Structure 1
């Protein structure tokens, strides 16, 4: 997450949505009093003890809201990027097994294991995307939601709204694989649709 007091924005870094590319571009515009929390490639922490103890930078708007104050939270532009949940889950499986290439060797076995045998319910990368962007009542707190599928255009629009120059986003922390639909059987497809149903509904995605 990035909080810019200079430009009055909050970037919510949802896992597996190209967050490192966006962070890299936004850092060019951060002032001395701006804040970032991140745990991969760079290690930075918020000056809030409870949030600083979190080992990563994937903090929700609901979590950071009390530390910002209601006036700033309402005034600052809050934005994030989302991704088709079916594609995001395949990316998650590939990422989590990158050390042993298990996904490359048998992708459906990995997918079924994580969906049905030992789902990592508490793992931050496994969490539905909407949970980073809604309040306790499930209402969307984010002002703008860009899409990974149209990432550059989304980023351009966000920069225009903030009032900072845009830049060409670089690819960071990517993996090579085929189209996500090729990895699914009906059972896995139905389970991803069930688990991430609110993401599909809220952000307008389908298989």
Structure 2
């Protein structure tokens, strides 16, 4: 997450949505008064002890809201990026099994393992994207804009225009060359991901084939 007092924005970094590319570009616009929490590639912490202790940078808007106060939180432009949950789940499995060849050899087995056998419920990368972006009611989005990974540069350009900051081409950071997510699925896996990430599919307008 990045909180910019200079430009009055909050960037909620949803995991597995190209957040490091966005962070890298936004850092060029930050001032000394701005703060960031991140734990991969760069190690930065928020000035609030409770949040800093969480270590990773994928904090929810609900978590940071009390520390900023309602006037600041409501007045700042809040944005995030989201990704098709079916694509994102494949990326999650590949990431968790990096360093070996289990996912390459047995992708269906590995995906079933995470979905049905030993679901890592507490892992922030596994949680629905909406969980970082909704309010206390668990339903209402707190963001002013949600960009899509599927049109990342266009969305980033629009965000920069809204904030009045310089934009630039996003770098590719921590990406993969895996290709289309759909061949990784059978009907059981489609149904499993659809059930687990039903809120993401509904809120952000995705289906197995893409945008609805």
Per the TM superposition, whether the score is higher than 0.5 is yes
TM-score, structure 2 as length reference: 0.97
Q: Distance in 2 between matches of 1:165 and 1:153?
A: 14
Matched residue count: 207
Aligned residue number for residue 65 of structure 1: 65
TM-score, structure 1 as length reference: 0.99
Q: Distance in 2 between matches of 1:67 and 1:167?
A: 31
Q: Shift in Å at residue 101 of structure 1? A: 2.0
Give the conservation status (yes or no) of the 8 Å contact 2:45–2:55: no
Aligned residue number for residue 145 of structure 2: 144
Q: Distance in 1 between matches of 2:95 and 2:48?
A: 30
Aligned structure 1 segments of 4 or more residues deviating by more than 3 angstroms: none
Q: Shift in Å at residue 170 of structure 1? A: 0.6
Q: Distance in 2 between matches of 1:26 and 1:102?
A: 36
Q: Distance in 1 between matches of 2:105 and 2:55?
A: 31
Q: Distance in 2 between matches of 1:60 and 1:39?
A: 15
Aligned residue number for residue 198 of structure 1: 199
Equivalent residues in 2 for 1:4-15, closer than 5 Å: 4-15=4-15
User: Over residues 166-207 of structure 1, what are the superposed CA-to-partner deviations in whole Å (9 max), with x where a residue is unaligned?
Assistant: 110011001221311100010010010000000000000000
Q: Shift in Å at residue 66 of structure 1? A: 0.2
Equivalent residues in 2 for 1:179-190, closer than 5 Å: 179-190=180-191
SS in 2 for 1:158: helix
Q: Distance in 1 between matches of 2:205 and 2:47?
A: 36
CA RMSD of aligned residues (A): 0.6
Aligned residue number for residue 167 of structure 1: 168
Q: Distance in 1 between matches of 2:192 and 2:109?
A: 14
Gaps of at least 5 residues in structure 2 are none
Q: Distance in 1 between matches of 2:171 and 2:140?
A: 32
Give the conservation status (yes or no) of the 8 Å contact 2:61–2:132: yes
